[in-house]
Amino acid sequence: NAGVTQTPKFQVLKTGQSMTLQCAQDMNHNSMYWYRQDPGMGLRLIYYSASEGTTDKGEVPNGYNVSRLNKREFSLRLESAAPSQTSVYFCASWDPGTANTEAFFGQGTRLTVV
């Protein structure tokens, strides 16, 4: 059981370049999320998809786009990378609102924009 798989694990981009972070989960969860983690700021929600076919902005959506490709996959795209987007990105999935709810996280993507 792989859980939540993110690719790539590491990436260096030049300012202005674009890239897509991939995320897939095999737990049949309806909801998927993208967070960024920066020192002293915890995890901040970028975008989330409550169910297949829907996406919503989180706390820090500027500079990002997302696609919920199907129930398993949720990608995050940086159209024109900026140094401020240097961060560690985590994908998560779960079905909130139930007593058994628990968020499962990928291992993270460490992105550096130079």
Partner 1 sequence: AQSVTQLGSHVSVSEGALVLLRCNYSSSVPPYLFWYVQYPNQGLQLLLKYTTGATLVKGINGFEAEFKKSETSFHLTKPSAHMSDAAEYFCAVSRRTSYDKVIFGPGTSLSVIP
Q: How far apart are CA 114 and CA 49, in angstroms?
A: 30
Residue 27 in contact with partner 1, rule: CB under 8 A: no
Indicate the length of the chain as a whole number: 114
Q: Which range touches partner 1 (CB under 8 A), out of 12-20, 26-34, 63-71, 73-81?
A: 26-34
- Over the window 53 to 92, marking each residue x when it contacts partner 1 by CB under 8 A and - when it does not, the resulting string is -----x-------------------------------x-x
Spatial CB neighbours of 49, under 8 Å, sequence gap ≥ 6? 31, 32, 33, 55, 56, 66, 68, 74
CA-nearest of 70, 82, 86, 77 to 34 is 77
How far is residue 48's CA from residue 113's CA, in Å, rounded to a whole number? 23
Shorter beta-carbon distance to partner 1: residue 63 or 108: 108
Under the binding rule (CB under 8 A), the answer on residue 40 touching partner 1 is yes
Q: Which residues bind partner 1 (CB under 8 A)?
A: 4, 30-31, 33, 35, 40-45, 48, 50-51, 58, 90, 92, 94-99, 101-103, 105-108
